[in-house]
Amino acid sequence: MSAAPPPTAARRLRMRWDLTAPPRHCPLPDSYRVAPVTAADATLLGALSYRAYRGGVDDNGESASWHRAEMNAALAGEFGEVDWQATRAAWYGPTPASLSLVTHWKSSPLVAFALTDPAHASRGLARFLLTHSATALRAAGASELTLVVTNGNPAARLYTHLGFAPVD
């Protein structure tokens, strides 16, 4: 009797947003505020990451402390230098509700994290933040923005709507 084969790793899709044309403006929903992100936000953003990933296609059972450590690492530049001008969080009172964290990976702008708390989903927060990121990068001279999304992630529809297209 043979053992079952190991589970297949989820396929990921690399997507690119051509920034030669300006992104369409998206309004920020009422009752939210947008602010720059700092390293001091790592604990709260780690908690946001935990809430955003829990139960989704990318949830591999990581703990809340793992998500905090991952966010600390990201904000410390371990996934590429953070682009502080393009990175923003949307806050609902004292709690982060959504995040677009952009790094420069291999000299190219990359959305390292695009997260929204499920309690704040479908309100246009990710659309607003990603549009801000693209606008800031374009103003700084960038010609593209990339990200990687797991097949089956419902956020892929938003990315396509914004202008991201699959790369190879």
User: Tens-digit pLDDT profile for the chain (168 aa)?
Assistant: 334 333 445 688 999 999 999 999 989 999 999 999 999 999 999 999 999 998 887 778 888 999 999 999 999 999 999 999 999 999 999 999 999 999 999 889 999 999 999 999 999 999 999 999 999 999 999 999 999 999 889 999 999 999 999 997
Nearest 5°: phi and psi at 27?
Answer: -75, 150
The pLDDT score that the predictor gives to residue 109 is: 98
In the chain, % helix, strand, coil (3-state, to 5) comes to 30, 30, 40
Tokens at residue 133, please?
Answer: 């990121």
CB atoms within 10 A of CB 97: 26
Helix or strand (DSSP H, E) at 86: none
**What does the pLDDT read at residue 28?**
93
CB 148 within 8 A of CB 9: no
Q: What is the pTM of this model?
A: 0.90
- Asked if CATH classification 1.10.260.40 holds for the domain at 12-166, the reply, yes or no, is no
d(CA 73, CA 46): 10
Write down the pLDDT at residue 63.
Answer: 87
42-78: pLDDT as tens digits: 999 999 999 999 888 777 888 899 999 999 999 999 9
